[in-house]
Amino acid sequence: MRRRFAICELSTLPASFEDDLAAYSAAGIDGISIFEDKLVEGREVEQLETFRASGLEASAAVTAVPSIPAGELARRGRARFARLESSSSTEGRAA
């Protein structure tokens, strides 16, 4: 039996909900953990239809956390990736 795999949208913060659906579906991912902050008020019906058409299953729902706005989470994520990239580029240098 094949194991099923899902991705949480928190791992792709800069991308939109629709971009996540397209990318995860194209990659053969089975499900998506939907992050509420990526849903756009007033576009609920359209986004639900896009989700259903993607073929992905909802594996979880991550509610918005008012104490840490999505923009701040994205900023922290970019900073963390920059630190990782910086440290990995210095690891290959001779001492």
- In order, the DSSP letters of 63-79 are ---TTS-HHHHHHHHHH
Cα–Cα distance for residue pair 18/45, rounded to 1 Å: 13
Crossing angle of helices 17-26 and 44-54, rounded to 10°: 10
Token output for 67 = 């104490």
pLDDT of amino acid 70: 65
Question: Each residue of 26-75: pLDDT tens digit?
Answer: 999 999 999 998 999 999 999 999 999 999 999 999 887 666 666 777 78
Number of independent structural domains in the chain = 1
Token output for 84 = 């990782």
**Position 67 in a domain:** yes
**Position 86 in a domain:** yes
- Domain span including residue 37: 6-91
Q: How far is CA 22 from CA 53, 68, 76, in A?
A: 10, 26, 25
**Position 47 in a domain:** yes
**Position 1 in a domain:** no
- Given a cut of 80, whether residue 89 has pLDDT beyond it is no
